[in-house]
Amino acid sequence: MAYFGLEWTPQDQASSIGGPIEKVVAYIAGRTGGDPGHIARILVGEIEHLVATEPAQWMPGARDLLVAAQEAGVPTAIVSNSWRVLLDLLIRNIDSPVDLTVSSTEVHAPKPDPHPYLLACGQLGVKPQRTWVVEDSPTGVAAGLAAGCHVLAVGPAVAGISDPRLLHVDSLAQVRLESLGGDGPQDP
């Protein structure tokens, strides 16, 4: 937005969180009147530069929850609407490995389609109904629920979503691994 002389607002963030990139580009084009191809080139270049050069910012409690899962032998994955190059840059920039990554490049349809989560479950050899996905966007929550997974929804962007398979928290710092049984939420 700064390129077009505009501010990135909370509404912009809410409209764009969770992507996919095509949705974000269309949103920015609609707001600025810019050419979508030009916006995509600028956006992709800037995002890749930032992810490659800036330290990754963990949500409070996220790294601890991931480490607890790894130590307990729970298969872990990052399932992202980001493209493969960006996801690989991110993985090189964090200090916690995961068993699998799935980007939008490997799926026939990105989130909110369930395919990214179903692909990850298949590759990890786990049943979706015994799986928890952690999401902070309505797009990701919809994908997780459509895949048949339990969803740990984090933050204000997903506060209004309701489903028996969904547990909403303000912060991952509130969650212990033991509270996430495969049969649904326990007391966090």
Q: What pLDDT digit, counting tens, does each position of 42-63 carry?
A: 998 998 898 889 888 899 999 9
Q: Flag whether pLDDT at 187 surpasses 70.
A: no
- What is the per-residue pLDDT for 165? 93
- What is the per-residue pLDDT for 47? 87
Q: Flag whether pLDDT at 188 surpasses 50.
A: no
Average predicted confidence (pLDDT) for the chain = 90
- Which residue has better confidence, 158 or 125? 125
Q: At what angle do helices 36-53 and 21-32 cross, to 10 degrees?
A: 120
Q: Domain spanning 62-185: which CATH class is it, in words?
A: alpha beta
- What is the per-residue pLDDT for 148? 97
- What is the per-residue pLDDT for 166? 94
Q: How many CB atoms lie within 10 A of CB 129?
A: 14
Q: What angle do CA 118, 124, 126 make, to 5 degrees?
A: 70
Percent of the chain with pLDDT over 90: 66
- The string of pLDDT tens digits covering residues 121-139 is 999 999 999 999 999 999 9
Q: What's the average model confidence in pLDDT over 81-91?
A: 91
- What is the per-residue pLDDT for 184? 56
Return the sign of the alpha-carbon dihedral for residues 107, 88, 35, 27: positive
SS3 104: helix
- The string of pLDDT tens digits covering residues 95-125 is 778 999 999 999 999 999 999 999 999 999 9
Phi, psi (deg, nearest 5) at residue 35? -75, 125
Residue ranges, comma separated, of all CATH 3.40.50.1000 domains in the chain are: 62-185
- What is the per-residue pLDDT for 185? 53
